[in-house]
Amino acid sequence: MAEEAKPPVPPPPPEGEKKPAAEGRAAPASAEAAKPAAPAKPAGPVPVPWTSPLVEKYKGQYGSGLDAQTYLGQNYFAVDRSLIPDILRLLRDEEQFDYCVDITAVHYLQREKQFDVVWILYSFPRNERVRVKTQIADGASIPSSVSLWATANWLEREVYDMFGIQFDGHPDLKRILLPDGWKGHPLRKDYGILQQDNEWVQINLGIESGQ
């Protein structure tokens, strides 16, 4: 939060938690040299606003609930959770994003809304890809998109299996890769790499530990 207080020129990337380290190093060197050097130092690519007729249309419709960015030539929407059903439906029905490539999630343990849920969509007619992502809290659910893309069935089951995110309206939300009785969701950041459901292993495999 401290990096918000000092407002130097470069626009901080939304995910930029690492920023203070880079600036902290540059500042003690010399006070006046820092000014021209600072914008040059963080050389890496930065997300820039994504402008297109599609974005204009949705911005007008949904305003601040929707943010459109381009990073390394890839476009994405960061959307409020409440707008997700609308946005996904519009993208499929009106913008021809007829192919749901992937649905996945990312866990940020320190954040208040712990999960990013990401939809990767592709449009055959437009030959264009777009990502839609939203943030949800641990324990919160998200509407299922199985009615939009049948492929979402297994993809959502995998997200549920690995992260424990609930998809409302999914026809058969159960584990897919791990066994049904397994406890825990392995791709959460608080699930250790050596951690296992030892109880399950002992009962079902008859061995002391899977390690």
Partner 1 sequence: MNDSTHDVSNRALSNLDLETSEKPYLDSNELIINMGPQHPATHGVLRVILKLDGEKVLGTECVIGYLHRGVEKIAENRTYTMFNPYVDRMDYVAAVSNGLGYCEAVEKLMNVEAPARAKYIRVILTELNRIASHQLWLGTHALDIGAMTPLFYTFRDREEILKIFEKYCGARLTTHAFRIGGCQYETYAGFEKEVKNFLTFVAPKIDEYEELLTTNRIWIERTKNVGVISALDAIALGVTGPVLRASGVKWDLRKAQPYAAYSEFDFDIPTGTNGDTYDRYLVRMAEMRQSLRIIEQAVNRIPEGPIMAKVPKIIKPPVGEIYHSIEAPKGELGYFIVSDGSTQPYRLRVRPPSFVNLQALDTMVRGLLVADVVAVIGTIDIVLGEVDR
For the chain, helix (H) and strand (E) counts, in that order, are 6, 8
- Give 134: exposed, middle or buried? Use CB within 10 Å, 0-12, 13-18, 19+: buried
E strands along 157-202, which residues?
Answer: 166-168
Smaller CB separation from partner 1, 147 or 209: 147
Smaller CB separation from partner 1, 33 or 48: 48
Smaller CB separation from partner 1, 34 or 118: 118
Span from 57-65, 68-76, 79-87, 200-208 in contact with partner 1 (CB under 8 A): 68-76
Size, binding site for partner 1 by CB under 8 A: 46
Beta bridge partners of 102: 120
Is residue 98 within 8 Å of residue 90, measured between CB atoms?
Answer: no
Tally of CA atoms within 13 A in the half-sphere of 140 that contains its CB: 15
Rule CB under 8 A: say whether 90 interacts with partner 1: no
What x-and-dash track marks residues 99-138 binding partner 1 by CB under 8 A? xxxx-x-xx----------x-x---x--x-x-x-------
Span from 2-10, 33-41, 52-60, 145-153 in contact with partner 1 (CB under 8 A): 145-153
Quickly tell me which residue has 């109880």 as its tokens.
Answer: 199
Span from 2-10, 33-41, 54-62, 71-79 in contact with partner 1 (CB under 8 A): 71-79
Tell which residue, 145, 134, 132, 136, has the closest CA to residue 50: 132
Quickly tell me which residue has 């459901």 as its tokens.
Answer: 197
Rule CB under 8 A: say whether 18 interacts with partner 1: yes
Quickly tell me which residue has 């990502």 as its tokens.
Answer: 131
- Give residues in contact with partner 1 (CB under 8 A): 13, 15-18, 44-45, 47, 71-72, 74, 98-102, 104, 106-107, 118, 120, 124, 127, 129, 131, 146-151, 153-155, 162, 171-172, 175-179, 186-187, 191, 193
